[in-house]
Structure 1
Amino acid sequence: MLPANARLRRSEEFRAVMRGGARVGRRRLVLHALARCGEHTKAGLVVSKAVGNSVVRHRVSRRLRHLVAARLGTLPPGSALVIRALPAAATATSAELGADLDAALRRLSLAPSLRHDNGPAV
């Protein structure tokens, strides 16, 4: 479960991230990211009816929410993410969704291994 201060809630927040942020598409999801839009790192999910019936949509949402919650601490402070599930997410395993999410984060240089943190100045 995502903490309350880590969730995008209002449609204006979703719209700002989706229109103003960078976008990376993968086979099972599309990741929209906007850097420095507040003090807390936030995330929101979009799982439309194209993914499947309500049972399938809720299963995909639970999996994505769990995956995002595990990665929130590694993201730059103040960043906002919107993860949009594609129809292929309906048949994907958690591992496949996690691999797509990690690949998208790396592509946007939001994964910890690719961020350009040079450490303290000497």
Structure 2
Amino acid sequence: MTWSRHRLHTGDEFRAVIRGGGRSARSHVVVHLTLLTQGEEAPRVGFVVSKKIGNAVVRNRVTRRLREIVRPHLATLPPGSAVVLRALPGIDEQPFAALRTDVDSALATAERKLAARSPSVR
């Protein structure tokens, strides 16, 4: 699967997702979810992994792990939706299974919050 059609590209897109929609936080990750466009556009995802997480090697590893956790959710997210996952300090020490549980839970909560804000979702 190619990620290019599922990526958020510009800072404006990231800001739009973070400022609108539903947000849910867990101990090591924050998930922001919103609808950018109405239509059949594929869901899009962006990752924010700051230098507080670690050096470039650690940040890239965290991004790869988050990407693999989000990949199965792309089929279930509403068309036109966008997700930003923001890593918090300590995420690099989390076991993959625990991180997956946190992201899955936070994404489900963000979807519920988005649905409550805009009934047209799902």
Q: Could you say which TM-score interval applies, normalised by the shorter chain?
A: 0.7 to 0.9
Partner of 2:68: 66
Quick check: 1:36–1:79 contact (8 Å CA) kept in 2? Answer: yes
Quick check: 2:30–2:87 contact (8 Å CA) kept in 1? Answer: yes
Partner of 1:116: none
| Distance apart, 1:21 and its partner CA | 2.2
Structure 1: runs of 5+ lacking an equivalent:
111-122
Quick check: 1:41–1:80 contact (8 Å CA) kept in 2? Answer: yes
2:21 corresponds to 1:21: yes
What's the TM-score, normalizing by structure 1? 0.83
Quick check: 2:33–2:111 contact (8 Å CA) kept in 1? Answer: no
Quick check: 2:31–2:110 contact (8 Å CA) kept in 1? Answer: no
What is the percent sequence identity of the aligned residues? 47
CA distance in 2, matches of 1:49, 1:21: 26
* Secondary structure of the structure 2 residue equivalent to 1:109: helix
2:58 corresponds to 1:51: no
CA distance in 1, matches of 2:23, 2:107: 10
* Secondary structure of the structure 2 residue equivalent to 1:8: coil
| Distance apart, 1:36 and its partner CA | 5.0
Partner of 1:37: 37
Deviations, residues 74-114 of structure 1 (Å, cap 9, x unaligned)? 1111110000000121101221111111101221236xxxx
- Paired amino acid for 1:67: I
CA distance in 1, matches of 2:27, 2:43: 25
Partner of 1:114: none
Q: Name the Cα RMSD after superposition.
A: 1.8
Partner of 1:118: none
Classify 1:50/1:88 alpha carbon distance in 2 versus 1 (closer, same or farther; 3 Å): same
Quick check: 2:29–2:102 contact (8 Å CA) kept in 1? Answer: yes
Ranges of 4+ aligned residues in structure 1 off by more than 4 Å: none
Quick check: 1:22–1:33 contact (8 Å CA) kept in 2? Answer: yes
Quick check: 1:2–1:69 contact (8 Å CA) kept in 2? Answer: no
Size of the aligned set, in residue pairs, is 111
